[in-house]
Structure 1
Amino acid sequence: MFKRLSMNKILVRIFESYTFLFLSSAGIIMSPSVVLAQDFSEEAKQEITDILDRSQKEFNIPGFVALVTNSEGEIYAEAFGFSDVANKSPMQVDNIFAIASMTKPITSTAAMILIEDGKLSLEDPISSHIEDLPPFEIFDEFDFVNGTYTTERASNEVTIKQLLTHTSGLAYNFNSKEIAAAGLPLTGAISSDRFLLQHEPGEKWTYGPSTNLIGDLVEEISGKGLLEFMEDEIFTPLGMTETFYNVPQNSMDRVVTTHIKIGDNFMERPKPEQIIQPEEGHGGLSSTARDYAKFMRLYLKSGAVDSGENLLSPETIELITTNSIGSLKAELQPEAMPNLSKAFPQGAGIDTWGLGFQISESQDEDKRAPGSLSWAGLFNTKFWIDRERNIAALLLMQYLPFEDESHLEVLERFEEAIYSRLLSD
Structure 2
Amino acid sequence: MRDWGVTMNRSGLRRVREQLAKRVDSGEVPGLVALLGNGDSAHVEVLGDMHVGGGAAMAEDSIFRLASATKPIIAAGVLALVEDCRLRLDDSIEEWLPELADRRVLVRPDAEVTDTVPARRAITVRDLLTFTWGFGVDLTGADTPIRRAMLELGLLVPPSGFEPDVWIARLGSLPLMAQPGEKWLYHVGSDVLGLLVARVTGVSLGEFLRERIFAPLGMVDTGFFVPEDKIGRLPTSYAHDPATGELVVWDPAVGGKYSKPPRFETGGDGLVSTASDYFAFQRMLLQGGKYRGERVLSGGSVALMTSDQLTPAQKVEKDELNEFFGDHGGFGFGMGVRTVRRGFAQVGQFGWDGGLGTSAQADPGAGFSGVLLTQVALDSPVSRLLIKDFWTTAYQAMED
**Which bracket does the TM-score occupy, shorter chain normalised?**
0.7 to 0.9
Please give the residue correspondences for 1:114-193 in structure 2 after superposition, counting only pairs within 5 Å: 114-133=81-100, 135-140=102-107, 149-152=113-116, 153-172=118-137, 174=139, 177=142, 178=144, 179-182=146-149, 183-184=151-152, 185-186=155-156, 190-192=168-170, 193=172
Unaligned runs of 5+ in 1: 1-36, 336-341
The farther-off stretch of 323-332 and 162-171 is 323-332
| Aligned equivalent of 1:416, options 389, 392, 395 | 392
Equivalent AA in structure 1 for residue 359 of structure 2: K
What is the distance in 1 between the residues matched to 2:350 and 2:43?
19
Picking from 368, 388, 396, the partner of 2:345 is: 368
The SS at the match of 1:150 is coil
Task: Using the aligned pairs only, state the percent identity.
Answer: 27
Are 1:140 and 1:149, in contact at CA under 8 Å, matched by a contact in 2?
no
Q: Is residue 94–residue 101 contact of structure 2 (8 Å, CA) maintained in 1?
A: no
Cα pair 2:377 2:383 within 8 Å, conserved:
no
* Residue 275 (structure 2) pairs with residue 289 (structure 1): yes
**Contact 1:207/1:333, CA 8 A, preserved across alignment:** no
Q: Distance in 2 between matches of 1:142 and 1:120?
A: 31
Instruction: For 1:269 and 1:282, locate their aligned partners in 2 and report how far apart those are by CA, in whole Å.
Output: 18
Counterpart-to-counterpart distance in 1, 2:320 and 2:31:
27
User: How many residues were matched structurally?
Assistant: 373
In the superposition, the TM-score normalised over structure 1's length comes to 0.80
Show structure 2 runs of 5+ residues with no match: 160-166
Q: Does residue 171 of structure 2 align to residue 207 of structure 1?
A: no
Could you list the runs of 4 or more consecutive aligned residues of structure 1 that deviate by over 4 angstroms after TM superposition?
A: 140-144, 173-176, 187-190, 332-335
Equivalent residue runs for 1:10-29 within 5 Å: none
Question: 1:95-143, CA deviations, whole angstroms, 9 ceiling, x for partnerless residues?
Answer: 1111122222111101111112222221111114434545433334788
Partner of 2:163: none
Q: Of 308, 311, 314, which aligns to 1:326? A: 311
User: C-alpha displacement at 1:297, in angstroms?
Assistant: 1.0
Q: Deviations over 1:38-87 (max 9, x none)?
A: 722444333321121113334622222211112313x2111222211144
Alignment counterpart, residue 90 of structure 1, candidates 35, 44, 57? 57
| TM-score, scaled to structure 2 | 0.84
Q: In the alignment, what sits opposite 1:381? A: 358
Paired letter, 2:247? F
On the 8 A contact 1:67/1:395 being kept in 2, the answer is yes
Contact 1:81/1:91 (<8 A) preserved = yes
For the residue of structure 2 that corresponds to 1:269, the secondary structure is: strand
d(CA) in 1 for partners of 2:356 and 2:274?
14
Secondary structure at the aligned position of 1:234 is classed as: helix
Question: Shift in Å at residue 393 of structure 1?
Answer: 0.8
Larger radius of gyration: 1
1:261 aligns with 2:240: yes
1:356-394, Cα deviation, whole Å (9 max, x unpaired):
221112324x52211111112221211111112211111
Give the structure 1 partner of residue 261 of structure 2.
276
Q: Which residue of 1 aligns with 2:200?
A: 221
Distance in 2 (alpha carbons) for counterparts of 1:51 and 1:87 = 20
Per the alignment, residue 25 of structure 1 pairs with none
